[in-house]
Amino acid sequence: MKIKIIILLVLIIIFAPVVSRAMPVPTANLTVVVNTQIDASFHFHLTGSPDFDLQTSGLTFSKTITIFAPSGSYTLSQDNALGLKVSSIFCTSDNPVDVFWYQSNSVNFTPRFFENIICNFNNVKATTPVLIVPGLLCKSFAIVV
């Protein structure tokens, strides 16, 4: 009986470090950079993550988020801030095979294990278009009876 207990204790000592270490979950780092012409608060949505806000100071701000790489495709989108609109989005990665799909206010990508992704959202002042209708304004006005 003592031998069985000693063997059991030896096995526990040998295998305890292996069991006690958690298997690392492959992640990727996503850095979101906002550049703007006016300091403002920008609201972002990221698939599978809580929404977050970035407040620019000195016309720029960045935040790094850890995302789970094996989770598939992600979409990162920004809401337009008051008086501003997204003029361009550009993402880069340290993995040369990454592909990014861009839409007007969002980007779609599939992260790989342990990579670093940087997405720049460039914002400009929104302009209100002026509609000019030829002939609407005239120099003279006459009523003919």
60-105 tens-digit pLDDT: 999 999 998 877 899 999 999 999 999 999 999 999 889 999 999 9
Domain that holds residue 73: 27-125
Least confident among 46-55, 88-97, 102-111, 128-137: 128-137
CATH at 94 = 2.60.40
Residue 97 is assigned to a structural domain of this protein: yes
Residue 86 is assigned to a structural domain of this protein: yes
If pLDDT is split at 50, 70 and 90, which confidence band does 25 have? confident
Residue 33 is assigned to a structural domain of this protein: yes
Residue 130 is assigned to a structural domain of this protein: no
Following DSSP, what letter does each residue of 98-127 receive, concatenated? Answer: ---EE-SSEEEE-PPTT-EEEEEEEEEE--
Residue 47 is assigned to a structural domain of this protein: yes
Number of domains in the chain: 1
Residue 82 is assigned to a structural domain of this protein: yes
Section 7-33 average pLDDT? 74
pLDDT at 127: 85
Residue 78 is assigned to a structural domain of this protein: yes
